[in-house]
Structure 1
Amino acid sequence: MVPPIDRFSGHAGLYAQFRIDYPKELYDFILQKVPDRTVAWDCATGNGQVAGALADWFEQVDATDISETQLLLAVKKPNINYQLSPAEQTPFANHTFDLITVAQALHWFDVNAFHQEVRRVAKPNAVIAEWGYGLAQISDDIDSILIDFYRNRVGPYWDPQRKHIDAAYATLPFPFANVEQPTFDVRRMWTLDRFLNYLRTWSAVRQYIHENEEDPVGALGEELIKSWGDGEREIAFPVFTRIGIVC
């Protein structure tokens, strides 16, 4: 099994504060597929935002991550049980979960081993939902600058797994039944400062800073300021999803 990769413990505070959350429409779509809402597993929960949403619908939510720092900062609710665990080998009993979710993290896994674990811990006909989101879209002039930053300035610092996000997970197996692949948008009104702090959560930016002892986001902000202006801009994050039945 491929050793788990932790790219987020070192900036867990930034991650918890500045990462996006997910739209109600996505949760509504998933939940309509899950008639029995007893126990859910949110894998690679990070700051616990998905676990926190599921906790409003399920009697119990088990949420796992390989980052102890992330778990310490995660959303707290009485029916969420956080545990330190890799995706591919968990402490859960066979046939435990009605729903299994993983958001913006599947590309870090040994995917075949994870799906084998899903089959072990899922109840018959449980639902699995995997999703992620691509590069932000703002306006033509800003988007061209952002794409250059993404591909060229910090492009060499992305892990190879990033290609799976760019491909909307089409490059990763999904061996489940009744597969559906809806898309959604996350739309937020952000200031430039808020957007730049989001960019600082990118693993490629953190690696760039680590290797060069310089924050590339500062120079990007100076380049964007004229196009952005003083106020908030609407930012759209395209969300790709795949949902199936474990049987």
Structure 2
Amino acid sequence: MPHHQVRYIHTPLSISDDELVTLLGGENSVDLVTVAQAVHWFDLPSFYALVSRLLRKPGGMLAVWCYNDIIVSPTFDPIMKRFHDSTLPYWNPNVQLVFDGYRKLSFPFESVGIGSEGKPQPLDIPKELSLDGFLGMLRSWSAVITAKDQGVDLLSEGVVKEFESAWGGSKLVRSVVYKAFMLAGKVKM
């Protein structure tokens, strides 16, 4: 639900940095930039330079976070580990930053107490999740898509049935925990 004090803007890819700065309110005008599950795909030097232009000084912040594991149950988790291992040959090398928990992610911002470069803040994010939601998440993984494009179905019928059995049935909604990590900082003055 939108908050009356927050302006949500989804920006097009096709505009220049200067046009983007203008669209977002100009230099030194943004209080918070957030990036969930994606900063490892960015051209980091360009992104960080743009964020540094946009963030209000002092006080504007950049927060980035990602998860690299999901905890379901002692029965389910080893199956998930085996599935995850099957995806490894199909990941883009950038995803290694996620596997490393963003510990190797360049983050040239002053810590605000929520992680710092080389020391991301661990987060446990609880969520209620159905098997369909879980499988949808797996189907969205770039490695699963890349494998499928190469003729390899990592989520074969047999794998899905194994997941369903360990989940406890397709209708069950489970409490899961995403093992995540976060960095938040402000522009160094």
TM range (shorter): 0.7 to 0.9
Mapped pair 1:119 → 2:49 = no
Q: Is the 8 A contact 1:88 1:117 kept in 2?
A: no
CA deviation map 1:109-166 (0-9, x unaligned)? 1112211111111121211111111221112231111111112x22111111111111
TM-score, normalising length: structure 2:
0.81
Mapped pair 1:188 → 2:122 = no
The alignment yields a C-alpha RMSD, in angstroms, of 2.3
Which residue is 1:150 aligned to? 84
Mapped pair 1:204 → 2:143 = yes
Mapped pair 1:61 → 2:2 = no
In structure 2, stretches of 5+ residues that fail to align are: 116-120
Q: Which structure carries more relative contact order (alpha carbon 8 Å, separation 6+)?
A: 2
Runs (4+) off by over 3 Å: 86-90
- The amino acid across from 2:174 in the alignment is R
Which has the larger Rg? Answer: 2
Aligned length: 174
Instruction: Give the whole-Å Cα distance in 2 for the aligned partners of 1:211 and 1:219.
Output: 19
Which residue is 1:15 aligned to? none
**CA distance change for structure 1 residues 86 and 240 in 2, over 3 Å: closer, same or farther?**
farther
CA deviation map 1:50-107 (0-9, x unaligned)? xx6xx41634233xxxxxxxxxxxxxxxxxxx22127994621322211111111100
CA deviation map 1:6-27 (0-9, x unaligned)? xxxxxxxxxxxxxxxxxxxxxx
Instruction: Give the whole-Å Cα distance in 1 for the aligned partners of 2:98 and 2:14.
Output: 20
**CA distance change for structure 1 residues 128 and 116 in 2, over 3 Å: closer, same or farther?**
same
Which residue is 2:63 aligned to? 129
TM-score, normalising length: structure 1:
0.63
